[in-house]
Amino acid sequence: MLLQLWGFLYSSCVRFWLKWVVRLLTGKCELQRVLHGQKEGARRTLGIEHSLGSSKNKVKDKDSAVL
């Protein structure tokens, strides 16, 4: 129960504010942070897929299905 509550709070509120603060501190968007310093390969691709999959923007989710 507690784990489900945390999952809901994280996905609906905490993740947004955490991303916003990190963006202010680094000056980079989430995808730029995922790609920074990563060589081409599966690890980088998985990071991009996770980032897009966690996004609330449905256009990005729809476009990521094409990849």
Q: Give the predicted TM-score (pTM) of the model.
A: 0.56
- Looking at residue 26, its amino acid is T
Residue ranges of alpha helices (H) inside the chain are 2-9, 15-26, 30-35, 42-53, 58-64
Percentage of the chain modeled with pLDDT above 70 = 82
User: What are the backbone angles phi and psi of residue 36, rounded to the nearest 5°?
Assistant: -65, 120
Q: Per-residue pLDDT tens for 9-32?
A: 777 778 888 888 988 998 988 888
Closest to 51 (Cα-Cα) out of 36, 37, 34: 34
